[in-house]
Each structure stands twice: as structure tokens, then as C-alpha cells.
Amino acid sequence: MSYNSFGHALRMTTWGESHGPALGAVVDGCPPGLALSEADIQPYLDARRPAQSRFTTQRREPDEVRILSGVFEGRTTGTPISLMIDNVDQRSKDYSEVARAYRPGHADYAYEAKYGFRDYRGGGRSSARETAARVAAGAVARLVIPEVAILARVVEIGGDRAEGFDPDEVARNPFFCADADAARRWEALVDEARLAGSSLGAVVECVATGVPPGWGAPIYAKLDAELAHAMMGINAVKAVEIGDGFAAARLSGEENADRMRPGEENGDSPQFLANHAGGVAGGISTGQPVVVRVAFKPTSSILTPVETIDRDGNAAEIMTRGRHDPCVGIRGAPVVEAMMALVLADQKLLHRAQCG
Amino acid sequence: MSYNSFGHALRMTTWGESHGPALGAVVDGCPPGLALSEADIQPYLDARRPAQSRFTTQRREPDEVRILSGVFEGRTTGTPISLMIDNVDQRSKDYSEVARAYRPGHADYAYEAKYGFRDYRGGGRSSARETAARVAAGAVARLVIPEVAILARVVEIGGDRAEGFDPDEVARNPFFCADADAARRWEALVDEARLAGSSLGAVVECVATGVPPGWGAPIYAKLDAELAHAMMGINAVKAVEIGDGFAAARLSGEENADRMRPGEENGDSPQFLANHAGGVAGGISTGQPVVVRVAFKPTSSILTPVETIDRDGNAAEIMTRGRHDPCVGIRGAPVVEAMMALVLADQKLLHRAQCG
Amino acid sequence: MSYNSFGHALRMTTWGESHGPALGAVVDGCPPGLALSEADIQPYLDARRPAQSRFTTQRREPDEVRILSGVFEGRTTGTPISLMIDNVDQRSKDYSEVARAYRPGHADYAYEAKYGFRDYRGGGRSSARETAARVAAGAVARLVIPEVAILARVVEIGGDRAEGFDPDEVARNPFFCADADAARRWEALVDEARLAGSSLGAVVECVATGVPPGWGAPIYAKLDAELAHAMMGINAVKAVEIGDGFAAARLSGEENADRMRPGEENGDSPQFLANHAGGVAGGISTGQPVVVRVAFKPTSSILTPVETIDRDGNAAEIMTRGRHDPCVGIRGAPVVEAMMALVLADQKLLHRAQCG
Amino acid sequence: MSYNSFGHALRMTTWGESHGPALGAVVDGCPPGLALSEADIQPYLDARRPAQSRFTTQRREPDEVRILSGVFEGRTTGTPISLMIDNVDQRSKDYSEVARAYRPGHADYAYEAKYGFRDYRGGGRSSARETAARVAAGAVARLVIPEVAILARVVEIGGDRAEGFDPDEVARNPFFCADADAARRWEALVDEARLAGSSLGAVVECVATGVPPGWGAPIYAKLDAELAHAMMGINAVKAVEIGDGFAAARLSGEENADRMRPGEENGDSPQFLANHAGGVAGGISTGQPVVVRVAFKPTSSILTPVETIDRDGNAAEIMTRGRHDPCVGIRGAPVVEAMMALVLADQKLLHRAQCG
């Protein structure tokens, strides 16, 4: 019931606001004896780091992580790992407008309805900056599942879908896109939105290979339910699919059944002739790649004035000045990877608890 | 970390297999003093009950619920409410084929990979029969949130989308469909699949009205994340959307922002000019209707033979005899409603815990 | 945060009232493949069963357990195990007095302050009858830890302490006492209290041998903290000691240190020259016997009239008629054993989750 | 199942080692709108701070707390409150002896059995330094329960019991002792142990007044079970009593029943003529003072050489050099207070969740 913790056997608790002094994650339950230093985490933070291209926010944060506990002589001790990232570029600005009125599409009104007031500087706790803590924790989770490879990529921006798939391409363009052609098209698309003071949505697909059969649980700790929870909990996410997702609802039972054949050699794992299920059946992994697709809404912060009300209930207009991602889904890709890693590592440990 | 429990402040634990003597739910954390008898639960079980039309499985289960604890003199006492439903129509049949080989699309292989063996009678714990326990528990949850009205309806079967919306129509046809025309079309569609020994998928939409602003939490206990977890945990569900869902990824920031206007009278809640967000912003309810859409894959049990392997890894063919829903998504509607009620009731209590 | 659940990786949820139709436990997270039938559980329930001597309540309950789920072909499947025990001898009596006024020493006033009203029949949920569900669940937990032997015995009744220790004696007398002389003395002591309409307290000591070093966790999931929680949660328990307990506070550091010597053979576990720590250091098991001591207050139900107030706040007198244990601590011994088994089994699985 | 988190509705997660750069706590679930600054926390840390007299360790730690998140414009926002305390005086010393052999009475052997290796500098995570994080979190918890006053005091050191009770005296002597005479005697007692390189145990009693009736829950979330868990989880604690504790096991039922009389005025709370129960009945508060007694073993670090084994299993001798508390129970008093505050605040929120 902890509001800011995630996971069961491997559990992270995150803290911090957009404009506070720092943010962080405490990772608990990590197996002991794993080699861990800041160098294992930093590359993932660098991938998510803002201001690396004109297609993301220009807030300049080094996002340097420090490990404050849980590691001794270069190895995890089994005690909580405290990760901290300083906020550096909280540009001083005038927040009086945001303090006074609610930005539609943002959490402003909902926060205030819940808590009675809100930290309005840069969105406070509702800022996507919190996801830096997840990415750091996700890097630790990856160490728990060395058998698994995870790749997230943006497959659609503003309704324009990428078709090609070259995994090496993902790191070569600023969009985490596996299709060089689409990446080129998206440059123009995102530029246009950015210059118009508008914003775009995106779809991210994440595939985890190497997950053995048997992770997950039949009912409320289903692997797919945990993934849905993890992904829908990312800022700006509005939809989650496993495997074929909504398209599965349009298949017949025969089309949807992932037929099985014996493995090539005696003792090999079975072969599946398709993966409509996205690697999960009955809440438990099947040994096929685990496939998740996640929809990000367009960034709520836009330069166009929008009708709203102020804190006294009067009609007002507001427009969000300041630095923002024109398409928050782009930087969502490393966050989706981190959440995938956290869920899988947790499920590995849970499986080990019950089934040895 | 309990594998078969759901919820935090209001928590249900379910148990039971398709072909065991009974199944049930224990609901813990229910506020005291609520009027509760079997008559408050039975109508929801009746809505989900099989064999009420030729479009669902012909297994005949009265699904009569008994309250074994937690109620005294007609009111909840605040102690756990144990709900039990006897299994009556576990038709004796020959399970040797299912015992020997894995049914593609089913959880057979995954269960066995996890646990080393499985209860193969009717799918055991992975059977959709478990959802009867959720529906019973959901009926209790509804008492906790009298301010909320919940309506789930099937909006698409086999790719055929319902367009009209007459809420009264939902109870009038065997498809939980709010569009009489679509319901008529679906009769033919489902009949065709049924007679062909095939099956169909479906999409269910669920709307909760009356949810006040402020339920939910910013990060990992987000209202939308909890809903995604709840819905993805239902058997056969492969995708979940909140509000516009995937369509939101194709909107611009201006289109997606749900503009706000003052309420009509001084002191009224604000008016929203749209509800792309589906009633949730930053993980917290906004006071608008909470809208969830859920995709059900086609029933995995089909009468067509499918390639598979047996427990020894040899190639085999299997076809699922016995009684099954030609479209399991139809009876998913009452289950989606129950999960919505459970999440909202839980969030109401969690909100009360923190914010009084 | 579930109010009626216990444990983490192995988790039981209990339900039921003293005078409801039944009570039960749902055990979740049990490893699959363990041989389990009612015959594995019944002996422990029989040990706790009332009315086996004149020294316990004369309520006659067969306490026959039924397994309703989670077992297939004689083995646990890994899904929740639902255990149910019917209430048979809820003698109809006049509860108007208990309904009207609060019994001092009982939970009557506290329940009503919390919930606004209470199930006054036989104490409702606060009845020690709930412990039957724990004993049943504890029997399942024992199967998870075959390497561990657990023995609880009453070491003190009404201030009269047993000195001798013959483990075989425990099952031979109605007091779970390892000292035949003390058992004889206690016959007179308990008879006297019973005939006087009074009641006595008791101290139970429980020792678990075979616990390997390494179970537990350093901070809030400490093995000793979990044991303290488990034991203090038993009805009528007012104190818990680990190892020397309060006596440790009177030792010097030199006396208290459990010196270590090499094991006899190369590769053997180390030898400890003492066990003041009761088998736990820093929250983690040391490989020595785990020793817990638990104080039970005298049964609150007594035949002597006591000053109290009624529900309207007026002065009154009350005396508890009906059948009661003159010393509830006696039947506490099997319950303490069950809680020890549940904690250790849970810790074994938790340890396996983190450390493999 | 989080190993380093505590609480349910109000939850703290602590991290940090004795000789790492810092330690801290993340407090989640705190109600919004409470006035909070470092000044509300520092006095409690100062009370626990070492090196304030010759009777505690001479490690000089300013223990200055910083609030890194969750507070905006001087008030709690409802988001996680991250508290951090730098370690300043980790004196560089030679740890090769402790690294090589296990200190009896310490967690050295148990940690290594669990995790395969250990951070041996100053005890790592098993150091009582972790309790600084609890004290900081406890100060936040106090703000949640302004209706409650908490006072812990040392009532016994080395078997010498304090008799008098002057609450104002507690802050006047270095022993948190309410009896000036005892405090004087203890000066000599602790000096003697300190100079002999020995150590002493202690008993701390903590009383919380102002707790309304109704906090707690009947079964596994019992207020007394939660308190037992909280207290037994403090370093060096070996026993916990509620109310009369072990002495209750020696009372008759008549003696033990806390008789009730009407309140003085109409509408007043009832009067209890005694408080053997320590303010808890059936796991729920009665409105009387909540009374807990806690036994601390003597500090395990002593200057006397003790038989032990080394990491290779060979016989060895070890003696703990360095700075240590001659009686760790003394500084336990502020920690016991903090844990009491954390439990009560959590229970208040849990009660509000269920009962409004």
C-alpha cells in the first residue's frame, strides 16, 4: 500500500520533485554479491538524459548518480541500495501563473483536489523527472536478470508508424527508433510540433528475450498484470498491450493459438510457431519473448493558450512557458526498459521464493 | 506479494479451481456497518452466470453465494467477509488428452513449467471460473462506494464495433451491448463461430461516474496503474486503455488537453469540455467519468485440432472438447465492473487514510 | 496492510467468528509438489481441540478440516490452499447480558469503539476459536520446512514453574508440560481456579531446531521481530522473549556473548558454547535453536461478577457465563507452534527469493 | 515483504551503513499540509546523538538531518519525505581483525551465512547507527498524531531498577531516567562496566497517552502485535511486554480484569480502575495509556577477548576495539519513542481508512 514503492521481492521506493534539491530511489531486496558501481547505472541515465538533441527538453541535467549504501567492495551486500541524483538546472522562473491556475492535461487540479495544495514548481512530484529514479533502479534490476535482454524502441510518433526493424539503429538516432527512414520523417514531424508550440504522442514497444518459462503467477500477480501496472504508472502513459493486444480481439481462436512444435534437439525447449500471446499465458511466461506496447499521450505542456480555471474557480487561460519535451514518449523508451527490468527481476525472485 | 490477493486497504483473496468442490473470496478491510446479505451479491453473480444463452458455455452453475463470516445482524462487522460458491456442474469427463498434451493459447505449458505439474481438470486455477469470486467480492466493494455508478458493456466482438449507446439496452441482450443493432449482428457472428468450433475476441468498455476528484496517488499507486493491473489480471485480457488510450498517442497536445470551465453555480465542481484523459490525471481522479477499455482475446478452447507437443516433448495435436464460451469477452463485462468497483473502493479508503 | 493476513512469501488469511457457520484459512504461496491431505493437518487441530480434558473449555468441536483448493492428486499445486472448519457446537444461549455491557479484560469495549457495534456471540472474531485456522495453516507451513522440528510446551501456570524437561512427556499430560511433577501440581492448581470461577495465566516456551543459519533479514523483517509479531498476535498474549529475553538485560556483555568454536569435523557448522541469543543475531538465524517464550494472561472470561459499564455508559456488573478455558495458555501451546512454523516457512522462502 | 520498510499506511524505508557516506529514511503516506522543517526533527536526533556524555559511544556525529523532498513552503505535500543524515566521523581504523573473525554476540556470522560476505566496517547495516533514520522518521510520525504524548524512559540498567517517577527528570540526566536516585547509582554502574571493558543491558518503558479507543485491528494487524514487531526490530532488543506482560501470567482473572466505571460527566469516556492490559484489548486500543516495556541486551562490543572462529572455521579470539556504547539500551529510549510514534501514526491512518 506504499504509494511510492514498486515491486515485491525486489522493491524500489522513489522520492523527489522536479525542483527539489535531488531525487532518488532505494532498491531493497537485491541479491547479494552482484558487481555494482555507478558505471553500471550511468549509461542508462545518459540514454534518458534531457537536452541531448533539440527533440527533448533543453533542461540541462547531468543526472549523475551516486550510490550511497548497499554496496561494499564493489558488490551488492543484500542491504538497501540508495541511489541519488542531484537536481542541477532548476531554472529560477516565475511560477505565479502556474501557481494560480490549473494547466489542462496536467495533474494540477487533481493534486490540489487530493492534497489541498501542490508544489507547482515544474510539476513537483508529477514531473517526468521522477523517471530518472526508475531508470537508475532499473539498471540495478538488470543485474539480477543477466539472462534477459531488453530493448525498447519508439514505433510511432504522432500517428506515423515505423516499419523497418534494425536493432542497431535504435542507438543511432535521437528517437530510439529501429527504422532509419521513420527517424528521418520524425525529425520534421517533431520539429514542426516544437516550433508550433504543440506536442505529439508516441507508442513504445519493448521486447524482453531470454525470459525462461515459469515466471509470473496465475491470478493477481500475473506477469502481464504486473507489466500493465508498471507501464501505466509511467507519466503520460494511457494504454498498454501485451503481445497482439487489441488486435488479438479481432483474431479467431485458431489464428490466436500459438502452435507448438518440439525443440530441434531432444531436451530443447519447445518451438512456438507464433507469439500472439506476447510471451505470457495464464499470467506466466512461456519462454517466448515478452512483448509490451505502451501509448504515451502528447506532452501536456504546450505553448498554446488553453481555457482553464484558477484556484478560486474563475475562468482563466493558461499556457505553459518553460522547457519541455515536444514528445515525452521519446524519452519514455529508456523508462519502459527500466520498468520491464524491474518487473522481470522481481518476478524472478518471486518465482525462486515459491518454486526454488 | 501475495499471489492471489488484490487491493491494499480493501483486499480480496480468492481461492478455488474449476473442478474443485468450491471457490471463494475473503474480503478484508471492509468498513463496518454496511448492510450486506447474499441478496446484495447474487444479482451480479447471476449476470455473469454461464448457460443463460447459447452464446456462453453450457456448464450449468447456480453460482449461489454464501456469506460465512464478517456479517452480523445484516451489517458488515469490519472483520473478514468470507464468500463461498459451490461448484456443482463439474461434468465428469475424460481428461487424459488434456493431461497428456498442452493446449496452445492455454496456460497448460506455462503452469507446468512453473510448478512441475498442473491440475488439468477444466484448467484448474487458470479457469475463468475464478472470476466468479471476483464478481462476488466486487459486489461488496460497491457498497463501499455508493456515490459511484459503474457500467461495463461490450463494444466490439470479432472486430465488429457497436456504435449506438442506450444504457438500458445493456441488460436486454445476451451481449451486455448498449446498441441493439450491434447485438443483433453479434448473434449471427457468435453463432457462426460457435458452430464452426471457433471463437471470437471482444472489447469491453467500462465507465464509472460519480468518482470525486482526488482518489489515486501520484506514482506507483496511480489510479490508472491500479486499473491497468486489475483489468490485465482478468483471464484472456491482453490490453487496457484509459480514456483515449492508444488514440491519445495520435492527438496533438492542444487536442488532448481537457479544457476546464467554471461550474455553473458558485461552489460547483469545474466543468471539463472533454474527457480524453478518462478521468485520471497524474494518477489521480479529476472528477470526470473514469473510462477504461479492455481487450479480450478469443477463447483459447476451440474445437479445431491444433499442433502442439505432449508432456514428453513429442509432436501432437489437440482439440478442446467440452463446454466453453465461444466469446469469453462477453461474460467479461460483469468481471470488468467488479474489478472497477474493487479498485475504486480500495482507492477511496486509501485516500481517506492519507487525506482524512 | 491486510488486517487478517499474516506472512509475506507464505501468507495465510484467516476468517470466521466464534459462532458463525465456519472458520477458515487461505494459505497462499505454498511451494508446489508437497504431499498434503487432511491427515497432515488433523493431528495438530486435535492437539488444540477443546474439551479433551476438564482443564479446557467444554465446547465440543470436532474441528474437522477440509481442503477446498490448491491440492491435486495429493500434492500442493502452488495455488491457494483453502482450509475450512465447521463450527458445530455454538450452543444457543442468552447473549443479552454480553450484548448490553462490556466484559472487562475482553475486547468488547475496544471493538465497539472501533466499529460502532460488535458480534457479541462468543466474542465474535476476537474469540480464541480463530486460532484453529492458524493451527491448520501452520500444519501446511510445516511441510515447507521439513528440516525444522518445533516443540512448544507450557513452562509455567499461575506462577508455578516447571523445572524438568522430558520432551516425550509433553504429549502425555493435558498441559503440554515436559515435567511430569509440574503437570501433577497444575492439575490441582487449574482445578482450584476452575471451581472458583477464576482463571490462570501461563507461559509457553517454543524451540525450533534445525533452522539453518541465514534466515531472516537485518532490519524490519528481522526473524525475531517477525516472531514477536506472530506471538503477540495470539489472543491473550502479553509478552514475548527471544532467547534470554528480559534476563539478557541483567547479563554483562561477556556473559551474554555466545562464544564460538570450530565444528568437530572440517566443514562442520561452528559450535556455539551457549545460546543466550535464542538462535538469532542481527535479525538473522545463527543455526542454533530458535527459542521463544510467550506470556498468556489469565482467561478474561470468569464467573466472578466484575464492575463495568453498559453500552449507554451506565454503571453495571457482569459475569461471563458459559464454557471457557480456565487457563487459555494451555491450548496456546499448539498455536505458538503453528505461528513458529508459519514464520520460519515464510522466512525460508524469503531467504530463497533474495539469496537463491 | 520489503526487508527495510516499516509500516503500512504510513511507511518508512531506511537505508545506510555505519561507515557509508550517509544514511536516511523515506517516509511515504504522510498526510499533506502538516508544518514540517528540519527543526521539527533535529531535537529528537539530538536526544539520540552519541558522545553527549561519557556513558555513550564517543563517535562524534552531528546527525544533522536534511529534508530532500516532500515538503513545499514549509508543509508536507503528501509525497515521499526523504530524510538524509551524513556520516561524518567514520574514523579510519584497521578492520582486518573484524574482517577475519566473527564477533560473538554480533551479527557477523549470521550476515555472512546469509549473504556470503559482509560490510565489516562498524557493523555495516547491522550497526545501531541505522536507528538515527528511525528517529528522524519518528519525528515526522509525531506530527500525524498531535493528540498523543509519548515518553520513554530507562527503568533498569544492569538489573538495577529505578523506582521513582518524575517525568521532568528524564531530560535532566544522561540515562533518560525518571528517578534521580537511580540515575546517580547508574553513573557508577555504567562507569564501572565501561572501565572494565564490559557492557550492560537495560530495560526501557514507553507510555503513550492520548491514544483514543479504536486504533488497531483484531487479528494480525493488532496494535500490540505491531508494537512487538516494532520494538523487537530495534537492535539489541530481546523482549517486549505490553501492559503487565509476563507479570500478567501470574495474575488471576479477577486481578487482571481492568474494571470500568462511567466517566465523570455524561458523555465522558469511561474510567478504567486499572491498566493491566497496557491500553490494548483484542488488539485494539482502549483509550487507556499504551504501555510497552523493552529489554536491551548488553552491548555486544566489549574489550574483553572472546573465543570465536575465523572465516575459515579456525579457532580464534577476538575483542572489539573502537568506540562503543557501554549500555546501548540508554540511547534506545529515543528509538523506542520513535517506533511507538511510527506504529501509532500508522494505526491512526489505517483506522481512518477502514472506519472513516
Searching chain A, which residue's CA lies closest to the CA of residue C351?
A: A353
Ranking A121-130, C314-323, D4-13, D149-158 by mean pLDDT, the lowest is C314-323
Cell of A227: 507489466
Cβ-defined contact of A354 to C32 (cutoff 8 Å): yes
The C-alpha cell 460457435 sits at B194
On the 0-12 / 13-18 / 19+ scale of CB atoms within 10 A, C282 is buried
Is residue B1 predicted with pLDDT exceeding 60? no
Looking at beta carbons, which residues of chain D come within 8 Å of C235?
A: 282
For range D191-214, the mean pLDDT? 96
Contact yes or no for B218 and D9 at CB 8 A? no
Q: What pLDDT score was predicted for residue B144?
A: 98
Q: Give residue D321's pLDDT band: very low, low, confident or very high (50, 70, 90).
A: confident
State whether B253 and A299 contact (CB < 8 Å): yes
The alpha carbon of residue C142 is apart from the nearest alpha carbon of chain A, in Å, by 15
How far away is chain D from the Cα of A182, in angstroms, using its nearest Cα? 39
| Residue D350 in this model has a pLDDT that exceeds 90 | yes
Interchain contact C345–A (C-beta under 8 A): no
D349 and B CB contact within 8 Å: yes
Mean pLDDT across C146-173: 97
- The angle formed by the CA atoms of residues B181, B183 and B185, to the nearest 5 degrees, is 75
Report which residue type is found at A145: I
User: Any chain D CB within 8 A of the CB of B79?
Assistant: yes
Decide if D352 touches A, using CB distance below 8 A. no
Question: What would the mean pLDDT of C41-52 be, rounded to a whole number?
Answer: 90
Contact D354 B218 (CB under 8 A): no
Q: How confident is the model at residue A92, as a pLDDT?
A: 63
Note the pLDDT tens digit of each residue in A185-203: 999 999 999 999 999 999 9
Residue C92 pLDDT exceeds 70 = no
D128 touching C (Cβ < 8 Å): no
Cα–Cα distance measured from residue A124 to residue A111, given in angstroms and rounded to the nearest whole number: 10
From chain A, the residues in CB contact with C349 under 8 A are 353-354
- The three cell numbers locating residue A306: 488553453
pLDDT value for A25: 98
The 10 Å Cβ neighbour count of residue D252 is: 18
Distance CA B256, CA B42 (A): 41
Q: Average the pLDDT over each of B91-100, B113-122, C311-320, D66-75 and give the range with the smallest value.
A: B91-100
Phi/psi at D209 (5° precision) = -105, 150
Residue of B240, D5, B154 lying closest to C217 (CA atoms)? D5
Q: Which helix (H) or strand (E) holds A333?
A: helix A332-355
Contacts of C221 in chain D (CB under 8 A): 1-4
For residue A95, the model assigns a pLDDT of 83
Specify the higher pLDDT residue, B221 or A245: A245
pLDDT digits (tens, 9 = 90+) for A88-120: 887 767 788 889 999 999 999 999 999 999 999
What pLDDT digit, counting tens, does each position of C233-275 carry?
Answer: 999 999 999 999 999 999 999 999 999 999 988 778 899 999 9
A33 in Cβ contact with A62 (< 8 Å): no
Task: Identify from B17, B83, B129 which residue to disrupt to test chain C contact, counting C C-beta atoms within 10 A and taking the largest count.
Answer: B17
What does the pLDDT look like over B2-20, one tens digit per residue?
Answer: 799 999 999 999 999 999 9
Provide, as residue numbers in chain A, all residues whose Cβ is less than 8 Å from the Cβ of D140: none
Q: A354, A342, A214, A343: which is closest to A281 by C-alpha?
A: A214
Q: Answer yes or no: do D32 and B354 touch at CB < 8 A.
A: yes
Neighbours of chain B (3+ CB pairs under 8 A): A, C, D
Hunting for cell 497524474 — which residue is that? Answer: B282
DSSP B128: G
Q: How far apart, in whole angstroms, are the C-alpha atoms of residue A255 and residue B304?
A: 11
Q: Report the gap between the CA of A147 and the closest CA in chain C (Å).
A: 15
pLDDT of res. C1: 56
Answer yes or no: is pLDDT of C103 > 60: yes
The pLDDT tens digits for B162-175 are 999 999 999 999 99
- Is C29's CB within 8 Å of A1's CB? no
Secondary structure (3-state) at C32? coil
> Under the phi-then-psi rule, with left for phi > 0, alpha for psi from -120 to 50, and beta for the rest, what region is D345?
alpha
pLDDT of residue D51 exceeding 90 = no
Rounded Cα distance, D3 and D76, in Å = 26
All three cell numbers of C91, joined, read 450452543
Q: Average pLDDT in the B313-340 region?
A: 91
Give chain C positions within 8 Å (CB) of A350.
Answer: 9, 353
- At residue D340, does pLDDT exceed 80? yes
Angle between helices B332-355 and B223-232 (to 10 degrees): 150
Q: What is the pLDDT of residues C62-72, one digit of tens each?
A: 999 999 999 99
Q: Looking at residue D280, what is its pLDDT?
A: 98
Question: C310 at the D interface (CB within 8 A)?
Answer: no
Query: Would the pLDDT of A1 be above 60?
Result: no
Q: How far apart are CA B211 and CA C271, in angstroms?
A: 63
Q: Quick check: D1 pLDDT over 60?
A: no
C-alpha cell at position B288: 470526470
Q: Looking at CA atoms only, how far is residue B9 from chain D in angstroms?
A: 7
The 10 Å Cβ neighbour count of residue C6 is 25
Q: Quick one: which of D240, A141, A137 has its CA closest to C294?
A: D240
Owner of C-alpha cell 520524425? A186
Sign of CA dihedral D272, D273, D277, D278: positive
State which residue of chain D sits closest to C16, comparing Cα positions.
D219
Question: Looking up cell 500472439, which residue turns up?
Answer: A276
Share of chain D above pLDDT 90, in %: 85
What local confidence, expressed as pLDDT, does residue D299 receive?
93
What is the Cα–Cα distance from D119 to D126, expressed in whole angstroms?
Answer: 9
A to D CB pairs, distance under 8 Å: 153
Q: pLDDT for A268-278, tens place per residue?
A: 889 999 999 99
The letter for the amino acid at C321 is R
Tens digits of residue pLDDT in D9-46:
999 999 999 999 999 999 999 999 999 999 999 999 99
